[in-house]
Amino acid sequence: MITLADAKRILAAAERKAEEIGQPMNIAVVDTGGNLVAHIRMDRAWIGSVDIAINKAWTARAFDISTRELAELSQSGDQFFGIHASNGGRVMIFAGGIPLKRGDEVLGAIGVSGGMGKQDQAVAEAGAEAF
């Protein structure tokens, strides 16, 4: 399970990476059921990215795949084409969502939004590594 203490540690590591690259971010952590455990919106991070970060985390947990990988598999003609329209439009298909695993078991996910895809991914990876 993802505890609040886990989520705080993940958020802190991700926030440090966001500060390092100079990009304010929204960072969300969800549990095994996709429920929000914790979220931060750094100073000057876009308010429009709050839901995106939460939904990236939810997507990564809902499908147990990074949103960056899901984006690659959801292009026209590929097996998950159109998936972004499912689940009431909640599915995010761009970088920044990563499942949080212990061994092979997915226990939750992190979602990051507020920068370019590569920035979101780097911040999410930093948070995931802290888990």
Q: Is 64 helix (H, G, I), strand (E, B) or coil?
A: coil
User: What CATH code would you report for 4-130?
Assistant: 3.30.450.150
- At 101 the pLDDT is 96
pLDDT in tens, 25-41: 999 999 999 999 999 99
pLDDT at 79 over 90: no
Q: What is the mean pLDDT of residues 34-51?
A: 98
- At 78 the pLDDT is 84
* DSSP code string of 74-90: TSTTSTTTTGGGSGGGT
Give the start-to-end residue ranges of the domains of the chain.
4-130
